């Protein structure tokens, strides 16, 4: 992709940079997103979108780094590009979803190719959704907020269940 095309993508992704998102689902400072893409321009654009909304971001340039970063940083969400060097996004998503240590972390696939087969394959591998590039800011933020909210509700129920079981066993 040439520099002009990347600049156009970057500009469109940040087109609504000064608009505030609805306050109904404000992120907390402890919510983290791992952005996996071999394009520094795409990574930076996504970081700007997410950090303006209060998210902490990490980045990786390929699937190998994505797996290591996910295990080390434990992000709330992973945004995974499809086409990358060393290990592509499909392979990395499959590895994350099949590893008990990372299986609960939602992954969204991203691609500039509008191929239905990519979407279907990503979902079959365990991705929670698919984002087409250039990324629509509102769609991105909506999906990130949604999966984080669901994960936290589920985590809260799991913690309550663990406390209930523990207190029952201690009686």
pLDDT in tens, 33-52: 999 999 999 999 999 999 99
Q: What is the pLDDT of residue 27?
A: 45
Q: What is the pLDDT of residue 11?
A: 53
| CATH number, position 87 | 3.40.50.2300
Residue range of the domain that includes 132: 8-15+28-170
Average pLDDT, the chain: 80
pTM of the prediction? Answer: 0.76
pLDDT in tens, 60-109: 999 999 999 999 999 999 999 999 999 999 999 999 999 999 999 999 99
Into how many domains does the chain fold? 1
Instruction: Enumerate the H helices of the chain as residue ranges.
Output: 3-13, 40-52, 63-73, 89-98, 116-125, 137-170
In a domain, 84, yes or no: yes
In a domain, 147, yes or no: yes
In a domain, 93, yes or no: yes
């Amino acid at each position: 992709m040439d520099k002009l095309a990347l600049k156009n993508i970057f500009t469109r992704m940040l087109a609504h940079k000064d608009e505030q998102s609805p306050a109904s689902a404000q992120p907390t400072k402890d919510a983290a997103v791992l952005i996996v893409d071999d394009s520094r321009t795409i990574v930076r654009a996504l970081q700007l979108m997410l950090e303006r909304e209060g998210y902490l971001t990490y980045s990786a340039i390929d699937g190998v780094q994505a797996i290591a970063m996910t295990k080390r940083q434990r992000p709330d969400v992973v945004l995974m590009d499809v086409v990358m060097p060393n290990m592509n996004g499909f392979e990395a998503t499959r590895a994350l979803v099949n590893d008990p240590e990372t299986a609960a972390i939602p992954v969204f696939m991203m691609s500039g190719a509008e191929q239905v087969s990519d979407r279907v394959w990503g979902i079959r591998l365990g991705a929670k959704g698919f984002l087409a590039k250039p990324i629509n800011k509102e769609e991105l933020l909506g999906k990130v907020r949604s999966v984080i909210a669901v994960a936290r509700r589920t985590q809260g129920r799991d913690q309550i269940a663990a406390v209930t079981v523990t207190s029952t066993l201690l009686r």
